[in-house]
Structure 1
Amino acid sequence: MPTLVHEFDWPDRVVVGTVGRPGERTFYLQARTGKRMTSVALEKQQSAVLAASVAQLLDTLASQEEGLSIPAEAPPELVDDAPLDQPVEEDFRIGEIHLSWDPRTLQVLIEAFPVDEDPSDPDDPVHPADLDEVGEPSEMLRVRMPVGTARAFVERTMAVVEAGRPFCPRCGEPIDPDGHDCALPDDAESGAA
Structure 2
Amino acid sequence: MTRQVHVFRSPDRFLAGTIGQPGEREFFLQVADGRRVLSVACEKQQVAVLADRLGSLITEVARRFDVATPEAGFPPGHVGDPGLTLATPVDAEFRVGTMGLAWDGEESQVIVELLALTDEEVGEDIVLEDREDGPDALRVFLTLAEASDFARRAELVVSAGRPPCPLCANPLDPEGHVCPRLNGYHRGANG
Pick the TM interval, shorter chain.
Answer: 0.7 to 0.9
Runs (5+) with no aligned partner, structure 2: 127-131
Question: Which residue number corresponds to residue 117 of structure 2?
Answer: 115
Q: 1:90 to 1:128 in 2, by over 3 A?
A: farther
Distance (Å, rounded) in 2 between the aligned partners of 1:165 and 1:113:
28
Q: Secondary structure at the match of 1:31?
A: strand
Q: How far apart are residue 171 of structure 1 and its match? A: 5.0
Q: How far apart are residue 186 of structure 1 and its match? A: 8.9
Question: Which residue number corresponds to residue 52 of structure 2?
Answer: 52
Q: How far apart are residue 130 of structure 1 and its match? A: 8.1
Q: 1:163 to 1:139 in 2, by over 3 A?
A: same
Distance (Å, rounded) in 2 between the aligned partners of 1:3 and 1:102:
24
Q: Secondary structure at the match of 2:147?
A: helix
Is 1:27–1:44's contact at 8 Å kept on the other side of the alignment?
A: yes
Q: Identical aligned pairs, as a percentage?
A: 39
Length-normalised TM-score, structure 2: 0.81
2:74 is matched with which residue: 48, 61, 76? 76
Distance (Å, rounded) in 1 between the aligned partners of 2:161 and 2:42:
15
Deviation digits for residues 11-66 of structure 1, max 9, x if unmatched? 00100111111111111111000111111111111111111111111111111113
Deviation digits for residues 50-92 of structure 1, max 9, x if unmatched? 11111111111111113x3331x32239x85531111111110
1:157 is matched with which residue: 132, 154, 158? 154
Length-normalised TM-score, structure 1: 0.80
Q: 1:16 to 1:188 in 2, by over 3 A?
A: closer
Q: Secondary structure at the match of 1:104?
A: coil
Question: Which residue number corresponds to residue 27 of structure 1?
Answer: 27
Q: Secondary structure at the match of 1:69?
A: coil
- Matched length: 175
Say whether 1:167 aligns with 2:169. Answer: no
Runs (5+) with no aligned partner, structure 1: 118-124
Distance (Å, rounded) in 2 between the aligned partners of 1:98 and 1:186:
39
Distance (Å, rounded) in 2 between the aligned partners of 1:137 and 1:87:
28
Deviation digits for residues 102-152 of structure 1, max 9, x if unmatched? 1122110001111112xxxxxxx4324486xxx623411000001111110
Say whether 1:146 aligns with 2:143. Answer: yes
Distance (Å, rounded) in 1 between the aligned partners of 2:27 and 2:45:
10
Deviates more, 1:53-62 or 1:163-172: 163-172
AA of the residue aligned to 1:165: R
Distance (Å, rounded) in 2 between the aligned partners of 1:156 and 1:84:
12
Structure with max Cα Rg? 1
AA of the residue aligned to 1:31: V
